[in-house]
Structure 1
Amino acid sequence: MTLEPFGARLRRAMDERGPLCVGIDPHAALLESWGLPDTVEGLERFSRTVVEALGGNVAVFKPQSAFFERFGSRGVAVLERSVADVRAAGGLVVMDAKRGDIGSTMAAYAETFLSKDSPLFSDALTVSPYLGYGSLKPAVDLARENGAGLFVLALTSNPEGAEVQHALRADGRSVGATMLAHLAEENAGAEPLGSFGAVVGATLGDLSSYDLNINGPLLAPGIGAQGATPADLPGVFGAAVRNVVPNVSRGVLRHGPDVAALRDSAERFADEVRAAVA
């Protein structure tokens, strides 16, 4: 059976569990700070602890695929189990893989993460549109078919992104604004929320010159360790703030491996976001 559209499931999850996405980012320094070895065994213990602590409370989890892939097939096996564990606990999985290519290669990436038969099937996938938005069509089509979603890199918080995303086209519109317009078209008429979202950094300051009302979710990295706070969200996202999915990684994960501390940190961030966007 095809799942209910991702946008509808996301809206309900954030309303019920709180508007928060927690990264699962087992990079070497974080494993070390948890007292874990930088091995597949450490990777697995880290991931299982995050899900054990937060799986029943947090709406969305964002595993960073690269931190699992660096261990080869055994690391990918841990990622598969992590996806299954999050979904069994009732959370949604946004796979942070930032895939982007053309034709059959893009289709293969889409099948890896958006096919119901794949062990890495995720509720949504981050994708890069910088081979042209049309290159994402295989992922858009498969996501729509299977009730999944996409988060398209539009206005990212890294300084290097500006040279591409803020570049002006011949029509005077920036590349980032063009991506937002494409997503608004994908989400036209969707209720209560479209399934095709944008990645927009929470550290970017005033974005009032951009139309963020795409009727879809806005995945917002940068809360916590990167300097943005939940209180900053209304000023950055304006009228679209209720559709923001704030992503916190190090701000929560640095409290591990203590399960209670991880849970308390996530709950605190979720409460702060609720208060800011109310």
Structure 2
Amino acid sequence: MSAPEPFGARLRHAMDERGPLCVGIDPHASLLSAWDLDDDIAGLERFTRTVVEALAGTVAVFKPQSAFFERFGSRGIAVLEKAVAELREAGALVVMDAKRGDIGSTMAAYAETFLHKDSPLFSDALTVSPYLGYGSLKPAVELARENGAGLFVLALTSNPEGAEVQHALREDGRTVAATVLGHLAAENAGQEPLGSFGAVVGATLGDLSSYDLGINGPLLAPGIGAQGATPADLPGVFGAAVRNVVPSVSRGVLRYGPDIAGLRGAAERFADEIRAAVGAA
């Protein structure tokens, strides 16, 4: 059996073909209410089914936030499993936003949940936290490689609390975030057309020229739309690495539901604006 195609190569192809946009699927209570849905399993199912129906065939990447499904227990997880399968069957890539991070056998179990090809929650990539030490991610790195999946490692997040850890200086004078980026560059060395191990870097952070974002891997960039960043901001934030950015929009697209045409139109507008901004960089 041939090795699976790496996530980085599949991501580059999907973004070139469908446009550089990731749509977050975040069914929190206020959004369900805005869609005139109840905050229950029926509302969750209707919301998720509508997003999949509207966008699965045209958007390159989806980022379901696991927590908003987990809060409904096993029935919520079942909705998430179905959505992951249907999105992938439609040719989209799924980045599971679960931000897992632990050590040893526990990290291995998290990896098996989302990165093992036989798991019902098998996703194309998983968000993970390196703040028990980058080496604690080894089980996820190894399983991702084995199954052609990827990781997005928290590096420079947009929440203000993140700075106390991410900008902290190590004894060698580098920040913690720079150290994480360095590890990712090493994981991706020699990979073409794009490595499979990416970083989460907030699109709202402004000038990041003091950091080397050239990790030869994707940069998942939340914060566009409702959080204040715009597609036009991307070149200024990411510089020469902007072509490797996976811009993530959640409420900026989802607020146009439950109308199918509204969701599709919003996704198309964001994809066009991002494409124009990246192309002009």
Task: State the match for 1:176 in structure 2.
Answer: 177
Task: State the match for 1:255 in structure 2.
Answer: 256
Three-state SS of the structure 2 residue aligned to 1:109 is helix
Identity of aligned residues (%): 86
Three-state SS of the structure 1 residue aligned to 2:205 is coil
Aligned-partner Cα distance in 2 for 1:128–1:46: 28
Please report the TM-score for the alignment, with normalisation by the length of structure 1: 0.99
Task: State the match for 1:156 in structure 2.
Answer: 157
Three-state SS of the structure 2 residue aligned to 1:221 is strand
Aligned-partner Cα distance in 1 for 2:54–2:80: 17
Moved more, 185-194 or 44-53: 44-53
Aligned-partner Cα distance in 1 for 2:235–2:144: 29
AA at the equivalent of 1:217: P
Three-state SS of the structure 2 residue aligned to 1:214 is coil
Task: State the match for 1:13 in structure 2.
Answer: 14
CA deviation digits over 1:156-175, x for unaligned, max 9? 00000000000000111000
Aligned-partner Cα distance in 1 for 2:29–2:89: 27
AA at the equivalent of 1:204: L
**Which consecutive residues of structure 2, in runs of 5 or more, have no partner in the other structure?**
none
Task: State the match for 1:52 in structure 2.
Answer: 53
Residue 88 of structure 1 and its aligned partner are, at CA, apart by 1.2
Aligned-partner Cα distance in 2 for 1:40–1:195: 34
Three-state SS of the structure 2 residue aligned to 1:50 is helix
Three-state SS of the structure 2 residue aligned to 1:150 is strand
Task: State the match for 2:246 in structure 1.
Answer: 245
Task: State the match for 1:142 in structure 2.
Answer: 143
Three-state SS of the structure 2 residue aligned to 1:141 is helix
CA deviation digits over 1:45-103, x for unaligned, max 9? 10110011110110000000000000000000000001011011110000000000000
Aligned-partner Cα distance in 1 for 2:4–2:69: 27
Please report the TM-score for the alignment, with normalisation by the length of structure 2: 0.98
Three-state SS of the structure 1 residue aligned to 2:224 is coil
AA at the equivalent of 1:149: G
Aligned-partner Cα distance in 1 for 2:42–2:82: 13
Aligned-partner Cα distance in 1 for 2:96–2:274: 22
**Which consecutive residues of structure 1, in runs of 5 or more, have no partner in the other structure?**
none
Aligned-partner Cα distance in 2 for 1:48–1:199: 27
Task: State the match for 1:94 in structure 2.
Answer: 95
CA deviation digits over 1:142-200, x for unaligned, max 9? 00000000000000000000000000001110000000000000000000000000000
AA at the equivalent of 1:101: D
Task: State the match for 2:212 in structure 1.
Answer: 211
AA at the equivalent of 2:52: V
Task: State the match for 2:31 in structure 1.
Answer: 30
Residue 3 of structure 1 and its aligned partner are, at CA, apart by 2.4
Aligned-partner Cα distance in 2 for 1:164–1:236: 20
Residue 275 of structure 1 and its aligned partner are, at CA, apart by 0.3
1:68 paired to 2:69: yes
Aligned-partner Cα distance in 2 for 1:125–1:231: 27
CA deviation digits over 1:9-52, x for unaligned, max 9? 00000000000000010000000000111111110110110011
What is the alpha-carbon root mean square deviation over aligned residues?
Answer: 0.5
Aligned-partner Cα distance in 2 for 1:229–1:200: 14
Aligned-partner Cα distance in 2 for 1:32–1:88: 29
Task: State the match for 1:188 in structure 2.
Answer: 189
Aligned-partner Cα distance in 2 for 1:143–1:251: 30
